[in-house]
Chains A and B, each alone.
Chain A
Amino acid sequence: GENVEQHPSTLSVQEGDSAVIKCTYSDSASNYFPWYKQELGKGPQLIIDIRSNVGEKKDQRIAVTLNKTAKHFSLHITETQPEDSAVYFCAATNYGQNFVFGPGTRLSVLP
């Protein structure tokens, strides 16, 4: 089955700096890699995702990169703002099978 690791578990950055969260996966058949943001007391929200046929995807200040050979993918947040503070989860799945989440990264953006 799939196994997803996520690092770091906690991350503190100064407002305006960039934040990078990395995930590795084990199942080479995985082809869909979403990232979720969960603010305190709220449900998760999909913020960006990437499929195995592309290496990078960007949406304003958020980008995700995928290296299928090395089986890792990363979330990049630029120009961080206090409202980016949350727990971020990565996940990997093969068309909904073996849908496994990483343990999460608590990001704190310090003003």
Chain B
Amino acid sequence: GAGVSQSPSNKVTEKGKDVELRCDPISGHTALYWYRQRLGQGLEFLIYFQGNSAPDKSGLPSDRFSAERTGESVSTLTIQRTQQEDSAVYLCASSLVSAWSGGEQFFGPGTRLTVL
């Protein structure tokens, strides 16, 4: 079946603009995760959803970042007033149940965001 998909695959934007990144999880997966990976660096956990709710938003880097999920399906990560330090690959993953409850995470291909 289809895996996790993300769009766009690449996004180039100007500093100060807003961007919206989309994640389509595997159908039926209740848990959805967002990560960020700056070039040559490690993974940074941003937020996860159990169903449509996000129990903990403290991983979001600043109040310019927000995420939502509707219908236990698609999720969008929005970055307002983008800054150059937001440039990174944004990865989405989903799992049938949460990873810490035994669900296996499947990752999407990522969205490469470049802020000029």
Stretch at the interface among B10-18, B21-29, B78-86, B105-113: B105-113
Q: At the interface, is chain B mostly helix, strand, loop or mixed?
A: loop
A32 and B100 within 8 A (CB)? yes
Q: Does B65 make an interface contact (CB < 8 A)?
A: no
Q: Does B91 make an interface contact (CB < 8 A)?
A: yes
A32 and B99 within 8 A (CB)? yes
**Contact sample, A vs B, 29 pairs, CB 8 Å cutoff:** A32-B99, A32-B100, A34-B99, A34-B105, A43-B107, A43-B110, A44-B43, A44-B91, A44-B107, A45-B107, A46-B99, A89-B42, A89-B43, A91-B43, A91-B45, A93-B45, A93-B100, A95-B98, A96-B100, A97-B55, A97-B56, A97-B58, A98-B58, A99-B45, A101-B43, A101-B44, A101-B45, A102-B42, A103-B41
